[in-house]
Structure 1
Amino acid sequence: NSAPCTSEAAASGKCFGGVARLRTKVKEIRSKYPNTVLLDAGDQFQGTLWFYKFGGLPAATFMNIIRYDAMAIGNHEFDTKVAGLVPFLKNVTFPVVSSNMNLSKTQALQGLIKPSTVLEIGGQKVGVVGYTTLETAFISSPETVILTDEISAIQAEVDKLKSQGIDKIIALGHSGYATDLEIARRITDVDIVVGGHTNTFLYNGTAPSNEKPEGVYPTVVDSQDKSHKVLVIQDYAYGKYLGELHVTFDDQGKVTSWSGNPVLLDNSVPQDSETLEVIQSYLPELELLKNTTVGRTNVDLMADRLQCRSKECNLGNLLADAYMAANIFMPRDDSWNEVSMAVVNAGSFRASIKTGPITIESAIFIHPFRNTLDIITVKGQTIKDMFELVASKWTTEIGELYGGFLQVSGLHILYDMTRPKGSRVVQIKVTCTKCSVPKLELLNLNKEYKLLCSSYIYKGGDGFQMFPASILKKQIIGKIDTDVFIDYVKSHSPITTGLQGRIRHVQDLDDLDLTPCEQRPAREQEVNKTRVTQWVNKSHPVGQQDFPQPTQMVIELKKTKPKIQASRE
């Protein structure tokens, strides 16, 4: 998982990764294989105390120290908009690439991001073509940057490189494993695909930690014309592994052999002392934030991806309740408050927290994106459309889980996912506002309602394209979601939020029996206990973001034998 390393975890050898370990391993491999390429597939931004305090500049500093050769742009690079990305790009000492970005309307990025780059390795030229997920437009804030189809953009750039006599080409990008495989199959003359975004773990043999491989390393794909093999790699997430791939090319630039595996960066890898000194220079400011306790929780607050992106989860309930609590105003004659419901997209909270103290650091890990919270007025039909969109994207496939799945406060939703898309919302109940005692009422499709949500959602993020056109009125509150969460923890500690039946599925109604346990047959109690245990014990990825993993790649040329090592984080 992506939580910070505690002193207890460090003492027991349960901490992984970190730039100091990464630099040690990269230096070790470079000493064995001088012709090394170090690549990063994007998502250096977001989700840490470092980013909260300093933005992307520490990432630039450490990537320069480690001496990356090239980097792709991930969706999280735009989480602080174009203005937040520019300082990072101006400070890195290596090329940043994305072939499917149209920057014609984004002057600030022109010249800072290139479609591709050519690396000189052991007297040989290696082309690196970048690409970025089209989802960026919906799940981040690229503003005027236009994302185009990856396949056509990559092919056009590959053709340019081929015309320059470059016959060894790597596609480096951030669009997910399925797209990586499609690129390998469909792009003519690509030899290796280094990907990110879905945090896919590939491995040969017995995995060294608790990740379960989704395939072999590398995944080997036949090119479209069957003329050569294309190697596809991803290396999980959070800096836990350094991917290492050795590849041999013949004189025509065709892959002839390969080997490798992700290397676990555990406590057996020493931390580079020079890098630790640089880290130390940042710590005084970080410690002030890190050690500030804002409250405590008496319950585990779960951000399990499968649960929170397909069902109700208690962390989602807590965040939505925090939004509501921050927007309780003076009552009017006919209403107890002007807004009675809030939604929070599951992709906006990134890490679980165990029972115990909640610090500013852990709060930022949980809810890092710092969107504003505002009130919009919409018709009941728009609210239904919003939840129908959620239902249309519902899945329990780990790699396809929808970050826009909405957790709620002041709403009860009943889904039937066996129905056709567009008719899966069985019932919506909303909390009344024009009432002296708040209670749930059936949604009226023709009535106007006020909804509290993040600016990210009402600007169309996560595919909510019914916004902003369907917004009748917008009331800018401007409170920052992360700050609202921290304030709520301060005022409501200890936290005891649980599951409350806010989101239900018709198929799970048996699980919602409210009969007291002591009145049920002993056998039924045991079944229910087993059912809950099985759910809790399922292992699914939990983390603050889809940090890609470094990939170390060794490329051997048949005659000259220079070795090229590539890494992607």
Structure 2
Amino acid sequence: MNLNPSFECLLLGLLLLFLLREVCGIKFTLLHTNDMHSWFDPRSESGGKCLKAEDDRGHCFGGFGRVATAVSEARKAGSVIYLNGGDTFQGTPWYTIYKGTLVAQLMNMLSPDAMALGSHEFDDGVDGLLSFLQLVKFPVLSCNLELRKVPKLQAAQQLLRSTIISKLQTMIGIVGYVRPDTKDRVQPNDVEFTNEIFAINTETKKLREQGVTIIIALGHAGFERDKEIARDCPDVDIVVGGQSHTFLYTGKPPSGELPEDPYPTIIFKPDGIKVLVLQAYAFTKYLGWIDLEFDNGGNMLSFRGNPILLDKSIHIRRDVQELLDTKRKVIDDMESHVVGTTMVYLNGDRTSCSLGECNFGNFIADSLVYARVLEQPGQAGQRKSWTDAAIGLMNSGGIRASIDPSQTGAITEADVMTVLPFDSDLYYTRISGNHLMKALEHSADQRDTESGAGYLQVAGLHLTFNYNRSKGQRISSIRARCAHCQIPFYESVDREKYYGVIVTSFLLAGGDGHNFVDPDRPEFSKLLMNDREALIRYLQEHKIVYPEREERIISVEKKSSCCSRILARLLLTYIYIMYSCMTVIRL
């Protein structure tokens, strides 16, 4: 049969395209952010507010406007998937004032292909999350939520287990997940969190049945868990994570962060197949960027990339800047309202405060006790105690920033909002010495966890944790400040005696696994001030502060294994000498 020459050319061209596709497969760029924590504006090198002069000199990084520009330019240049690993809520006064509404507006401008739920997306309860979901125009993912008791969330159209993206005639599946202990990290709700790996494997099987050839797990569970997911989820090709603020980089890093592992980190499945694990630090400072190539069977052929530093070379997208400027006045007012002055660095660094005593933790815990004292003025001659609660406890995860004294040492209302963004109510609770010691043992255990958020900063206590002891028996000494006394002093904690303690509503409700309600004699009441109001009042009345580390918490570290290593080497040397001697004797 004779075919029209032009038709033959068309068939030949189609065949050639098919063959090229079979050979070349699919290439695309994967961009990702995580733990943006509402840093809509650029962030200074020291981690605080960025002044324009600092930004002009190149000392500030990130901001949603720079993320928007980088993503937009990448999309113009080629085939791109942009993913967000959760915890976009919480972290700056912007969020404290405008909540999820402004986050939704800005995220719509960035237009991710999908976003994972982070733990902080639950900070304002189910209703706060729901209002965000009703505004966003992209899928928000988590496959390990059980929502039968929360029909409002179950009905939210944008909240999905997974989504499918079509690129170059290829179906790419994105599966979301969030760490199960989110339940203990947020205010009480009826959402149930299930095991991530089981839920991911269940969902990916469904995606494979629909013809999906490439699967990306997008979630918020921390770097160590991400590596386990990469190993134990057979259908997953790439893991894009968050929560642990992990900086991954290959080569010399472009700024002050030290890489924890290479980018990407490669994990091998039991069958030897490579899985890439990605994360891009936090606070919008970096944009994760990796170029990928797969064949048509979904097998990874090549990859190349590194996070890019969002410095002044990347301009801030105008529409993002304009939206922020329309809402900036209330933020500016808070930033100009000075509430106190510090002569020293107030260290609220999450690593420092989750490993031991930090001076800002001391100061905040003191402000809780002070708030209670202010509620019991009375006349000094008419009472036998200076307070009914001489102990204040603050979970390290509730302290979200440090304050640098810079040139003036001024502390503004906005600074306090950044440090204590959760606006937690304060409660008086009366517990036995035995119950108090159990709570502090739990605090000692939290030091060993990935986040350390449940580790407690203290006021009115002097204690020693000995980490050579077994779990639950690490308190080697503990003294408490007396409440029913005219001149405060410290005395050994009596397990049978009852103590008044000031805690946040988060801790009272069982946050981070704590328990501050006495099971035998429950007694608690709400204070007039919340945590932020208490800190502001404390600063205002003390005017100039210079808190120090006071050895309120002493940690005895585990004994080094160097002695064991020396003994092992001596033993090996002894065996070698004896063997040599026996050899000589035989000869």
TM-score interval for Structure 1 and Structure 2 normalised by the shorter chain? 0.7 to 0.9
Whether 1:250 and 2:303 are equivalent positions in the alignment is no
Contact 2:424 2:531 in 1 (8 A): yes
> C-alpha distance in 1, partners of 2:392/2:351?
21
- Write the distance in 1 (CA, Å) between the matches of 2:308 and 2:320: 20
Structure 1 residue 479: deviation in Å?
A: 2.5
| Match for residue 220 of structure 1 among 255, 266, 275 | 266
Are 2:536 and 1:486 aligned? yes
Aligned counterpart for 1:175 among listed residues 221, 225, 238: 221
CA apart distance, 1:131 = 0.2
1:89 CA drift (Å)? 0.9
Change (3 A) 1:116 1:469: farther
Residue type at the aligned position of 1:159: K
Look up the match of 2:452: 402
Query: CA contact under 8 A between 2:354 and 2:452: conserved in structure 1?
Result: yes
CA contact (8 A) 2:176 2:217 kept: yes
**For 2:482 and 2:518, how far apart are their aligned partners in 1?**
24
Pairwise mapping of residues 195-210 of structure 1 onto structure 2 (< 5 A)?
195-210=241-256
Once the two structures are superposed, what CA deviation does each residue of 1:101-158 show, in whole Å capped at 9, x if it has no partner? 1111112211322111112223322111000011211122251111100000000000
Counterpart of 1:98 in structure 2 is: 142
Distance in 2 between residues matched to 1:302 and 1:211, nearest whole Å: 18
The answer on 1:383 being equivalent to 2:436 is yes
Moved more, 285-294 or 161-170: 285-294
**Residue in 1 aligned with 2:427?**
374
**Which of 351, 356, 360 is equivalent to 1:315?**
360
Cα shift readout 1:195-246 (whole Å, capped 9, x = no counterpart)? 00001111111111111111111111222333x3211100101000011111
- Any conservation in 2 of the 1:324–1:341 contact (CA below 8 Å)? yes
3-state SS of 1:42 partner? coil
Deviation at 1:8, TM superposition (A): 4.2
The answer to whether the aligner puts 1:166 opposite 2:212 as a matched pair is yes
Cα distance between partner residues in 1 of 2:377 and 2:413: 29
Q: Is 1:436 the counterpart of 2:486 in the alignment? A: yes
Residue of structure 1 equivalent to 2:90: 46
Structure 2 CA distance for aligned equivalents of residues 316 and 272 of structure 1: 38
Q: Does 1:241 align with 2:241?
A: no
TM-superposed CA distance for 1:506, in Å, is 4.4
Q: Give 1:360's aligned residue.
A: 413
Maintained 8 Å contact 1:106/1:144: yes
> What is the Cα-based RMSD across aligned positions, in Å?
1.7
User: How far apart are the structure 1 equivalents of 2:292 and 2:349?
Assistant: 37
Q: Classify 1:251/1:471 alpha carbon distance in 2 versus 1 (closer, same or farther; 3 Å).
A: farther
Separation in 1 of the partners of 2:214 and 2:519?
47
The higher radius of gyration belongs to 2
Aligned residue type for 2:91 = G
CA distance in 2, matches of 1:505, 1:123: 58
Q: If the length of structure 1 is used for normalisation, what is the TM-score? A: 0.85
* Preserved contact between residue 49 and residue 290 of structure 1 (Cα < 8 Å): no
Q: Which residue of 340, 347, 351 corresponds with 2:401?
A: 351
- The whole-number CA distance in structure 1 between the counterparts of 2:520 and 2:182 is 22
Map 1:397-546 onto structure 2 (within 5 A): 400-465=450-515, 467=517, 469=519, 472-477=522-527, 479-506=529-556
Percent identity at matched positions? 37
The answer to whether the 8 A contact 1:204-1:261 is kept is: yes
Letter in structure 2 aligned against 1:261: N
- Partners of 1:212 and 1:422 in 2: how far apart? 34
Cα distance, 1:505 vs. partner?
2.8
Uncovered stretches (5+) of structure 2, i.e. residues with no partner: 1-45, 559-587
The aligned residue for residue 21 of structure 1 is 66
My pick for the range that moved more, 451-460 or 115-124, is 115-124
AA in 1 matched with 2:439 = M
Aligned to 1:334: 384
Q: Deviations over 1:412-464 (max 9, x none)?
A: 11221111111110111111122222211111101111111011112111121
Specify the SS of the correspondent of 1:23. helix
Which amino acid counterpart does residue 310 of structure 2 have in structure 1? L
Which structure has more RCO (C-alpha within 8 Å, separation ≥ 6)? 1
- TM-score when normalising by structure 2: 0.83
Counterparts of 1:470 and 1:368, CA distance in 2: 33
CA distance in 1, matches of 2:450, 2:423: 25
Offset, 1:94: 0.3
The answer as to 2:119 corresponding to 1:72 is no
State the one-letter code of the partner of 2:66: R
For residue 193 of structure 1, what is the aligned residue in structure 2?
Answer: 239
Separation in 2, partners of 1:131, 1:66: 21
Supply the distance in 2 between the matched residues of 1:166 and 1:80 (Cα, whole angstroms). 35
Tell me the secondary structure at the aligned position of residue 56 of structure 1: helix
